[in-house]
Structure 1
Amino acid sequence: MRSIRLRLIMILMGSTGLVWLLAVGWIYLSTQAEVERVLDARLMEAARMVNSLLSDHRIEVGLEEGAARHVVGEFEQTHRPYERQLSCQIWSLEGSLVGRSENAPQTRLTEIGTGFSETAVDGERWRVFTVENQSLGVRVMVGDSLRIRETLVSDVIKGLVVPALLILPFLAGVILVSVGRGLSPLNDMADTLSKRAANDLRPLQADNLPKEIAPAVNALNGLFKRVEDVRDRERSFTAFAAHELKTPLAGVKTQAQIALASEDPALHANALQQITMGVDRTSRLVKQLLDLTALETNDSEPILQTVSVRALMRSVMAELPLARGETRLNVEADGEDAHEVHVEPHFLSLALRNLIENALNHAPETSGVVCRVEEVADSVRFLVEDRGPGIPEAELSQVVEKFVRGRNRSASGSGLGLAIAQAAMVRMGGTLTLENREEGGLRAILTVRKAETMA
């Protein structure tokens, strides 16, 4: 299980430790460079000072062999750290030691004639500056132990690292508390949600929230709103469906009672015919309810395929009632064999079948329904036309809603056919257009993309 709290703590602790390490490294390098620069300047100054004292004859040295003695008191060791670093030697140009400080080694500090050099004498490394005095015939060598330099730098670093290590536990505690307080709005929101009832879809309080949490709260409120809308639609759908099913079922029951009670053969036959019609209507309503539910509850992306119009129309014709599909429906297509569309076949068939059934229900018995296919630019249009009463212009935008039947309703309609067609076209990216024909009746147009335009 992943924890945001743990992740934040680890990131903050890691980044803080990394910053400390980088700072220590930078201070180490800069301190080392600065110490070397300062101490090198001191070496140079000390060597020149001794050379000046020799030139002014304030220090007397014997140039004879074996005359070396303690001549420079300023380089004696004191009791304070780092103050005994310098050792001084005075060598003749012929190579004999003629003077040295008390703690200077007997061995020559460097073989370099002048300037800076680094050497090892008796197992100890030295940084040496040499000044050559030609007039006196001597070389002045002043050396600094590199071990003491390194000790100085390491003590500086210890002075930084030790307090840092002592502060780290306190810093960790501060980070823990800070992260906990920073995440408290999330805990408060989780606590609020856990105490809510399942049907409580009120929006969460969105005022005075941290800007990092506000998007999550707004998204949750949006989700609550969508769920509330879906629930309202389901309530309406259930109420309308119950009402629409109640009507034909009540009719079937009434006709059945008439058939059972009647001894008149004509009345008995008419009652049975009405029962058959009621069952057909109920069956069609149930099928439409199932189709609409499948369209609205399936959130997966439609699988678009390239299909021919002829194959699609044959599939739709096969699903229509034979009595209507063969006698009153006329299918026309301009170059039908050449038409190919990129659609979800089931959705387009569903939309076409419901439009044709709707047209057959509203068209007069003496007139037929025409289904035409035509190509327009990069689209293919399916036109379903009837000679019925049409739809008032004010109601054209409303009849695609569920259970909206309009004023010119059919006795066998349920107000779902156009809603199913609209939902199917929305799912696969097509459009449904309704318009009244000048010569009377309604024209429904389904527009989808041609297959070659999708490449």
Structure 2
Amino acid sequence: MSLRTRLSLILILSTGLIWVSAMVWINSSTRAQVQTVLDARLEESANMLGSLIREGGVTFTEPFVLEDTSAGGDDPNRLLYCQVWSLRGELVGASAGAPNDKLAQTPGLVTSIIDGEPWRVFTAVNSELGLRIMVGDRITVRDSLVSDVMRGLVWPALVVIPALTLLIWVVLGRGLSPLAKLESALRARGPDDLSPLPAARDPREIRPIRRALNQMFEKLDHVRRTERDFTAFAAHELKTPLAGMRMQAQIARRAPDEASRNRALEAIETSVDRSDRMVRQLLDLTFIDYEAADPDPLVPSALLDEAAANADLQAQAAKVTVLTVTHSLPMVHIPKVLIQSALRNLVENAIQHSPGGGTVTLSARHEGEWIVFSVRDEGLGIDPAHRDRVTERFWRGPGTMSQGSGLGLSIVAAAVQRMSGRLTFGSSQEGQEVRIHVPLSPD
């Protein structure tokens, strides 16, 4: 169902409900007012007839029929009928068409049932004349008056409601035309067109939609550029060690002696290790970017010991010592795969940038609502001028001598962001310290 149809139905149903409620209220109010007015007329007519009798305008020498000039003959729809009874219970006179039965048994205003039909009757007792004067009318006549009033409201409604429905449909169509134009503009765009929507004089309610769409296009464009650059960089970085392995394999095949062959094989092993690490890092990035991870209850010291153990072979090859400094710390609730990936890449980076014989120290401490993991090396450190760029993917600082791919710290930054943590860098005067702040609770 379209928005236009839904709004039209809501407005039409609301208008119809208001109209019906108004008619119910008018019917009730009109019925009460008619009842009050006609009851007053009954009382006034009874008192007037009593005055005429007292002044001699009407005499009773024998029973007679008192004519009511408000309507002629015995018309059953005439408004008023009267009876005059003596206090002894004798019928003295009655208007034409009045019932034979007594209209009421008690004085004042009462509702009587005569011949199975409800009547409204007023009885005036005149002790001076010795008479009971009764004036009444049929309740069906009163209902007919109210029905005439209601019919006067229903017939205009039958004309107004269809006209109102058409008017609502047309007005909503014009009011929603900016949305229709926006839809047309989006349909006309190609799948590769992520440029912002052109500015337009939209209503105030449409502007947030246009702004949100432009922000989404901007983010999608950024993601697309990032993925394109990522693919290009990854292909380039993988191509380099593969080309090196091919060349070293040819050298090993043609080596004139065992020493040359061993050097070529060592170079191949180095290229394989570099390619293996890059593939693992690419897999880490893919998981961090696109996979969901639930928090796990983890012991910080166990995470540090595991990271040190996993880096043991790399540390031995680089002649670097990896130490862990552990304390009694509360458990932390974070996704295990994310913190493992972050710590592994930090430790590998630290070993790669440490001099031979250096030490990489892993530690953790409790600071308020945070657990702070720290990895410190004894290398040259990160130039403060480049700290804003070290977490960019495939970025390596100028003059870097290591064989890294430029993915390590970008993986750490992405994982820390997914854990709602912070990544900070310490002083580089005596080596480089990188800290990961993660919250104790997943909230």
Q: Settle same-fold status: TM greater than 0.5.
A: yes
Contact 1:109 1:143 in 2 (8 A): yes
Post-superposition offset of 1:79: 11
Output the CA distance in 2 between the equivalents of 1:80 and 1:355.
Answer: 108
Contact 2:307 2:343 in 1 (8 A): yes
Post-superposition offset of 1:318: 4.3
CA spacing shift, 1:339–1:51, aligned 2, 3 Å: closer
* 2:343 counterpart of 1:349: no
Q: How many residues align?
A: 442
Q: Deviations over 1:146-204 (max 9, x none)?
A: 11111111122122223323444333333333444444333332332222111001222
CA spacing shift, 1:374–1:325, aligned 2, 3 Å: farther
* 2:303 counterpart of 1:308: no
* 2:118 counterpart of 1:119: no
CA spacing shift, 1:178–1:188, aligned 2, 3 Å: same
Matches within 5 A, 1:164-183: 164-183=157-176
Q: Deviations over 1:280-299 (max 9, x none)?
A: 1122122212211221233x
Task: Show the counterpart of 2:95.
Answer: 101
2:361 to 355, 358, 370: 370
Task: Show the counterpart of 2:436.
Answer: 446
Task: Show the counterpart of 2:193.
Answer: 200
1:383 to 374, 377, 383: 374
Contact 2:79 2:137 in 1 (8 A): yes
Matches within 5 A, 1:243-282: 243-282=236-275
Amino acid at match of 1:61: F
* 2:42 counterpart of 1:47: no
Contact 1:28 1:157 in 2 (8 A): yes
Task: Show the counterpart of 1:17.
Answer: 16
CA spacing shift, 1:44–1:383, aligned 2, 3 Å: same
Post-superposition offset of 1:105: 2.4
Q: Normalising by structure 1, what TM-score?
A: 0.89
Q: Deviations over 1:329-384 (max 9, x none)?
A: 33332435x55222111111111111111011111012121112233344322221
Task: Show the counterpart of 1:187.
Answer: 180
Contact 1:75 1:101 in 2 (8 A): no
Matches within 5 A, 1:323-362: 323-324=314-315, 328-336=320-328, 338-362=329-353
Contact 1:90 1:138 in 2 (8 A): yes
CA spacing shift, 1:192–1:81, aligned 2, 3 Å: farther
Which of structure 1's runs of 4+ aligned residues deviate more than 6 A? Answer: 78-82
Amino acid at match of 1:98: V
CA spacing shift, 1:423–1:329, aligned 2, 3 Å: farther
Q: Which moved more, 1:127-136 or 1:175-184?
A: 175-184
CA spacing shift, 1:442–1:139, aligned 2, 3 Å: same
Output the CA distance in 2 between the equivalents of 1:333 and 1:373.
Answer: 7
Output the CA distance in 1 between the equivalents of 2:178 and 2:199.
Answer: 11
Q: Normalising by structure 2, what TM-score?
A: 0.91
Contact 2:305 2:324 in 1 (8 A): no
Amino acid at match of 2:323: V
Post-superposition offset of 1:76: 4.2
Output the CA distance in 2 between the equivalents of 1:28 and 1:172.
Answer: 25
- CA RMSD, Structure 1 to Structure 2 (Å): 2.5
Task: Show the counterpart of 1:68.
Answer: 63
Q: Deviations over 1:74-112 (max 9, x none)?
A: 344389996x21112111111111122222223221111
Post-superposition offset of 1:206: 4.9
Output the CA distance in 2 between the equivalents of 1:174 and 1:238.
Answer: 57
Q: Deviations over 1:23-57 (max 9, x none)?
A: 11111101101111111111111111111111211
Output the CA distance in 1 between the equivalents of 2:435 and 2:151.
Answer: 84
CA spacing shift, 1:342–1:410, aligned 2, 3 Å: farther
Output the CA distance in 2 between the equivalents of 1:212 and 1:425.
Answer: 37
For 1:436, what is the secondary structure of its paired residue?
Answer: coil
Contact 2:308 2:322 in 1 (8 A): no
* 2:133 counterpart of 1:140: yes
CA spacing shift, 1:136–1:340, aligned 2, 3 Å: closer
Output the CA distance in 2 between the equivalents of 1:413 and 1:275.
Answer: 16
Task: Show the counterpart of 2:148.
Answer: 155
Task: Show the counterpart of 2:221.
Answer: 228
Structure 2: runs of 5+ lacking an equivalent: none
For 2:374, what is the secondary structure of its paired residue?
Answer: strand
Contact 2:110 2:121 in 1 (8 A): yes
Output the CA distance in 2 between the equivalents of 1:425 and 1:195.
Answer: 40
